[in-house]
Structure 1
Amino acid sequence: MENYNQKKAKVAVVQAAPVIMDQAKTITKLESLAIKAAEAGAEIVVFPEAFIPAYPRGLSFKTKVGSRSKEGKEDWFRYWENSVQVPGKTTARLANLAKENNIYLVVGVIEKEVGAKRTLYCTVLYFTPEGKLAGKHQKLKPTGSERYIWGEGDGSTLTAIETPYGKLGGLICWENYMPLARAAIYAKGVKIYVAPTADSREEWQSTMRHIALEGRCFVLACNQFVTKAMYPSDLACYDELETEPDLMCRGGSAIIAPTGEYIAGPVYDQEEILYADLDLSLITKSSFDFDVNGHYSRPDVFQLIVNEKEQKNVKWQK
């Protein structure tokens, strides 16, 4: 059911870097930035992909086809240790942050499984002003060498949460190039579409504007600003960064209207919080001439089947 009890929403997109490979210090920084955004009136605050504890750009963990190194395993273990168990103490702290500041908080994390499994996932977490972890989305397809370090999510985390401003949901980085994944998110009725990413190319902006137009939704595109000097020098694989540029990720965060026009950004080459007051009536107004789930959907010709069941490798029977 559509929720129209709010006509406007103030949103904040945080373009910043974590304290790389350090969960505790990153959360302290995140709290400071989220509080700053809330004090400025933001009701929805979005952080980038893999903000806790890092998007390990430039590192291969010294992995080659057919071999893994001792140094790479040491850095991966450090990465794993500083990643986030969901749910756990860290998610409880983030939920409390959302509650104390009366915000919807969206945070990109690296999620670690514990117990029978030890895999890492690139995940986005959604917290409500009531202090609840309302949902998560695990990246369906890690890109390129990301597959060395992250597992693949399944359809059970194609998440969209209810808010007073309409449904909030989205996809991570190059998932946004997957037409069927986008169709699944649109079909959930997402009105405020979050796109945490690590892609700072100019070409990425075309994708973000296209999604706003295609989905007739507001797009909150969020990236990090990272320099090589931010990396800890005691990484076992630090020498891999010698040939990397000083500017590792220049950003490109932006807020885009359902018409495809920029409301804020894109911003490059600095840490910054972008703000925008969203006129939610534009969502319906822009659907007059294109409605991806309505008069432009043609279900008599095209249909998409989505498997939202959690996939398990062992099923116990008694």
Structure 2
Amino acid sequence: MKEKNQSKVAVVQAGSEVMDKEKGVKKTIHLIEEAAREDAKIIVFPEAFIPAYPRGMSFGTVVGSRSNEGRKDFFQYWNNSITVPGTETDEIGKAARKAKAYIIIGVIEKDNESSQGTLYCTALFFGPDGELLGKHRKLKPTGSERLIWGEGDGSTLPVFDTPYGRIGSLICWENYMPLARTAMYDKGVQILIAPTADAREAWLASMQHIAVEGRCFVLSCNQYSTKDMYPEEISSREEFKELPHELTRGGSCIVDPLGEFVVKPVMGEEKILYADINLNKIAEGQFDFDVVGHYARPDVFQLIVNEEKQENTIWKK
């Protein structure tokens, strides 16, 4: 019997069905069903799970030029990205309702409000009633990600109240942005979801640091992917010969509010990580450090967050 304020969470470490959104949705639903059989109430998927984090792909680009083959790769990536809401979110929502669980999943989202040409790296939140609760668009793509993804704005920085705690998300290296983290803490996040494509030791140390800093649970979720998961027809296939077989080795983990691993990083396999988390540990941790409470100094430091939606429309009425 679970204690009060205790719930089971699941972190899904798996590889994408690369460049195939239909298969990607089917795999997502299968994994939701598997986690639901273990009575998970919060189920987390990696960054860009549908249709993929395109690790190793150059899209035929060097500074100053783009190739026709690379444009075709981008079209395939764009064509298998999803609109929000849309058919794919409806299907995932049905799976969430059947599982009676909160689902947080990384997708590549088409801009369906203006040109549709821009893609965003997005985390979607579904409730146990199957409703799409909201989304977070990555504020700052990293490095060459900026070639293929646009920038989100402050209008998608939600933290949701749930029976299992207040849930919010920062995607991958957004977690290195001190002010973004502070915005999450200020909204009272208790379970910080960190979908990522990073499995380095420094990332894992950061997950522990953030848990201690925010006195929150951190669920870090990465893919496990290999070269043979990618379609043969992509133009970057020749470049892949120089890459290791494991493109993304995992490293998903669950950390408690004192920075201890509840589930240590898992490497080298597809696996669902499970843990029972107890929100009482947050108050225990805040006894001596509450970053936006008794340990804050608002007379010295103040944070301003612009949460207005930034319109891209050229013509103003």
For Structure 1 versus Structure 2, the TM-score category normalised by the shorter chain is over 0.9
Q: Is the 8 Å Cα contact of residues 109 and 119 (structure 2) preserved in structure 1?
A: yes
Residue 92 (str. 1) matches residue 90 (str. 2): yes
Residue 46 (str. 1) matches residue 58 (str. 2): no
Range with greater deviation from structure 2 (158-167 or 294-303): 158-167
CA distance in 1 between partners of 2:121 and 2:76 (Å): 16
Using the TM superposition, give the Cα deviation of residue 198 of structure 1 relative to its aligned residue in structure 2, in angstroms.
Answer: 0.2
CA distance in 2 between partners of 1:30 and 1:153 (Å): 24
Q: Give the letter for the 1:292 counterpart.
A: V
Q: Give the letter for the 1:47 counterpart.
A: F
Q: Is the 8 Å Cα contact of residues 254 and 263 (structure 2) preserved in structure 1?
A: yes
Q: Give the letter for the 1:126 counterpart.
A: F
Q: Give the letter for the 1:45 counterpart.
A: I
CA distance in 2 between partners of 1:226 and 1:317 (Å): 45
Using the TM superposition, give the Cα deviation of residue 144 of structure 1 relative to its aligned residue in structure 2, in angstroms.
Answer: 0.3
Secondary structure in 1 matching 2:128: coil
Residue 250 (str. 1) matches residue 249 (str. 2): yes
Q: Is the 8 Å Cα contact of residues 107 and 125 (structure 1) preserved in structure 2?
A: yes
Q: 1:41 to 1:64 in 2, by over 3 A?
A: same
CA distance in 2 between partners of 1:73 and 1:46 (Å): 32
Residue 311 (str. 1) matches residue 310 (str. 2): yes
Q: 1:236 to 1:105 in 2, by over 3 A?
A: same
Q: 1:22 to 1:212 in 2, by over 3 A?
A: same
List gaps (5 residues or longer) in structure 2.
none
| CA deviation profile, 1:74-107 (whole Å, cap 9, x unmatched) | 0101001111101111111111110111000000
Residue 108 (str. 1) matches residue 81 (str. 2): no
CA distance in 2 between partners of 1:165 and 1:201 (Å): 29
Using the TM superposition, give the Cα deviation of residue 185 of structure 1 relative to its aligned residue in structure 2, in angstroms.
Answer: 0.7
Q: Is the 8 Å Cα contact of residues 6 and 164 (structure 1) preserved in structure 2?
A: no
| CA deviation profile, 1:38-95 (whole Å, cap 9, x unmatched) | 1011000000000000000001101111111101110101001111101111111111
Q: 1:311 to 1:283 in 2, by over 3 A?
A: same
Secondary structure in 2 matching 1:162: strand
Secondary structure in 2 matching 1:19: coil
Q: Give the letter for the 1:62 counterpart.
A: G
CA distance in 1 between partners of 2:234 and 2:285 (Å): 49
Q: Give the letter for the 1:11 counterpart.
A: V
CA distance in 2 between partners of 1:264 and 1:313 (Å): 42
CA distance in 1 between partners of 2:55 and 2:67 (Å): 18
| CA deviation profile, 1:199-237 (whole Å, cap 9, x unmatched) | 011111110000100000000000000111111111133
Q: Give the letter for the 1:103 counterpart.
A: A
Give the number of aligned pairs. Answer: 314
Relative to the length of structure 1, the TM-score reads 0.96
List gaps (5 residues or longer) in structure 1.
none
| CA deviation profile, 1:164-217 (whole Å, cap 9, x unmatched) | 122100200000000000000111111011000000111111100001000000
CA distance in 2 between partners of 1:30 and 1:306 (Å): 33
